Amino acid sequence: MIADSNLVTEALAGNRYALARLISLVEDDGTNARGALASLYPHTGQAHIVGVTGAPGTGKSTLVNQLARSLRDQGTTVGIVAVDPSSPFTGGALLGDRVRMRDLAGDEGVFIRSMASRGSLGGLARATGDVTKVLDAAGFDVVLVETVGAGQSEVEIARTAHTTIVIEAPGLGDEVQALKAGLMEIADVLVVNKADRPGAANTARALEMVIHRHHDRRGNGYDAWRPPILQTIALDGTGVPEVLDVVAQHREYLEKSGAWAERERERAETELLNVLQQELLNRVLARVGEEQGRTWVERIAAREVDVYTAVETILGRQ
């Protein structure tokens, strides 16, 4: 057994067992996790964090698997975080995970972690960010983060990546699926997967129109990157090297334009606000106490007091 206090040292030294334990510790949060995160944080900031998001079943897991294999062929080490929130679509994810495990098992240059669903989506976002930090600190060159782009929280997770790949697939509906989830906003690279299926070219064309209209509206600030649209067949790897080329180009663009530093600041700000919000809420709730809290809820529901007056009173008492 390795003591919790040695986990960081061991994990950073390349001990995979320690790394797995450290990730579990961080996932579960708690006091020990905070200490571990504090000591590993100075070692973060090296990895290229690449988010892979899109509607359920578009082929995210299959593509992540292929991207990881191609990166390994280039000698690049890869951490993978697969977020699998409790959803009715987990069948595909599980299949994808199994495929991935088999292909990449036994390779020291790859570390895969599937995230269990958390109590809350906010908790999931926090845990994903922290696990990504662990893999970054452990020295993986690229960290691929797979999230189902199905809601605001997933969009938020994707926003913490340096490069976000949004995946579409033909035949998922009449409209372009990603539009609904607001994923266009965060796409740095668009991939139409399942290009072996009919309709892929149409999907690509539809995306082209939308993304370029959207891009032109963004004006010409520092964000001069036009998200390229690529087609892939993740099942056999067709188009995957091209995706990696574009991802590398995006990294170069970020570094040269100053957008890399800008994204780091954005991430720091989002994290600070999220943690501050959560901590303040926890502290206030702890002081109010469960019983008092319930009393306030009852009084608001009974129209004895409105919510603003209630909050003013609660905070005034701190």
Regarding 89 and contact with ligand GTP (CB under 6 A), the answer is yes
Q: Which is nearer to Mg ion, 61 or 232 (CB)?
A: 61
Point out which span in 3-11, 136-144, 176-184, 192-200 binds ligand GTP (CB under 6 A). Answer: 192-200
Binding-site partner at residue 197 among Mg ion, ligand GTP, none, CB < 5 to 8 Å by type: ligand GTP
Q: Residue 32 CB, nearest distance to ligand GTP (Å)? A: 31
Integer angstrom CA distances of residue 177 from 64, 173, 180, 228, 317: 20, 7, 6, 17, 48
Residue type, 296: W
Considering only 13-21, 67-75, 89-97, 175-183, which stretch makes contact with ligand GTP by CB under 6 A?
A: 89-97
Stretch near Mg ion under the rule CB under 5 A, chosen from 23-31, 96-104, 170-178, 289-297: 96-104
Among positions 200-259, residues that touch ligand GTP (CB under 6 A) are: 233-235
101: contact with ligand GTP by CB under 6 A: no
Backbone conformation region of residue 57, classed left if phi is above 0, alpha if psi is from -120 to 50, else beta:
left
Residue 153's contacts (CB-CB under 8 Å, 6 or more residues apart) are 121, 122, 124, 125
Query: Of 18-26, 50-58, 201-209, 267-275, which part binds ligand GTP (CB under 6 A)?
Result: 50-58
Query: What amino acid occupies position 158?
Result: A
* DSSP type of residue 4: H
Does 50 sit near ligand GTP (CB under 6 A)?
no
**Rounded to an integer, what distance in angstroms lies between the CA atom of residue 40 and that of residue 271?**
16
Q: Binding of ligand GTP at residue 194 (CB under 6 A)?
A: yes
Closest CB to ligand GTP among residues 47, 93: 93
145 interacts with ligand GTP by CB under 6 A: no
Q: How far is the CB of 52 from Mg ion (least distance, A)?
A: 9
Give the separation between CA 80 and CA 169, rounded to whole angstroms: 22
Query: By CB neighbour count within 10 A (0-12 exposed, 13-18 middle, 19+ buried), where does 213 fall?
Result: exposed
- Unique residue bearing structure tokens 């780091």: 264
Task: Find the helix or strand (DSSP H, E) in which 163 lies.
Answer: strand 163-168
Q: How many CB atoms lie within 10 A of CB 62?
A: 23
Coil vs helix vs strand at 150: coil
8 binds, among Mg ion, ligand GTP, none (CB under 5 to 8 A by kind): none
Told to check if 158 binds Mg ion by CB under 5 A, we report no
Instruction: Count other Cβ atoms within 10 Å, centred on residue 280.
Output: 10
Task: Report the residue number, 16 or 180, with the smaller CB distance to ligand GTP.
Answer: 180
List Cβ neighbours of 313 (8 Å cut-off, separation of 6 or more): 305
Which residue of 38, 95, 101, 307 would you call a contact of ligand GTP, by CB under 6 A?
95
Q: Rank residues 32 and 238 by Cβ distance to ligand GTP and give the closer one.
A: 238
Give contact residues for Mg ion (rule: CB under 5 A): 60-61, 93, 96
